[in-house]
Structure 1
Amino acid sequence: MQIVQYIPHPRYKITVFKSGRRYIVKFDDADHDLSLKFREGEVDGLKDVVSQVNQELLEEIDQVFETLSSFRMSRYQRSSKRFPDII
């Protein structure tokens, strides 16, 4: 797998990889990452992959990351109540 492009964004690190016959677009923020995979027949090359990363997709990624953050915080709050304070 090799990095073929970075897509600039103020909040996310967006990296496009080429792996065999597919492209992978990885979105990273401070706490989460999400990858989308495109097979060779689904897109017409790198330009098409990059064009898929539009405002609509980024808004959906925002929602997914917000959901993951809420889930993570609820899990953390539950797990922190399991153990008594040790003095």
Structure 2
Amino acid sequence: MRFVQDIPHPQFRIGLYAWNSKYIVKIEAGPYEQTYKVSELDVADLNDVLTMLDGPFLDTVTQRFQAMDTDWQATGERNETFL
């Protein structure tokens, strides 16, 4: 996997990679990560991928991270693994 660039964001760590004719967008928040793969054939160029990372998309990413944390905390409590 080839690193292409970091995408600045105040809340997340966003990295853009290229691998197997796909752009891979990795978005990290604390211990959680979301990964999106886009075929190079589905976009005209790299700028299209960057354009897709708009406000409404990142708002949904935020909600998904919150849901991931809720799910993780709930399983820890159910299984009594968190102190």
Give the drift of 1:45. Answer: 1.5
Which blocks of at least 5 consecutive residues in structure 2 are unaligned?
none
Map of 1:70 onto structure 2:
70
Alignment coverage as a number of residue pairs: 81
**Superposition RMSD on alpha carbons, in Å?**
1.1
Over 6 Å off, 4+ runs = none
- Structure number with greater Rg is 1
Which blocks of at least 5 consecutive residues in structure 1 are unaligned?
82-87
TM-score under structure 1 normalisation?
0.88
Cα separation, 1, equivalents of 2:44 and 2:77:
45
TM-score under structure 2 normalisation?
0.92
What percent of counterpart residues are identical?
A: 27
Cα separation, 1, equivalents of 2:72 and 2:16:
26
1:1-87, aligned counterparts within 5 Å? 1-80=1-80
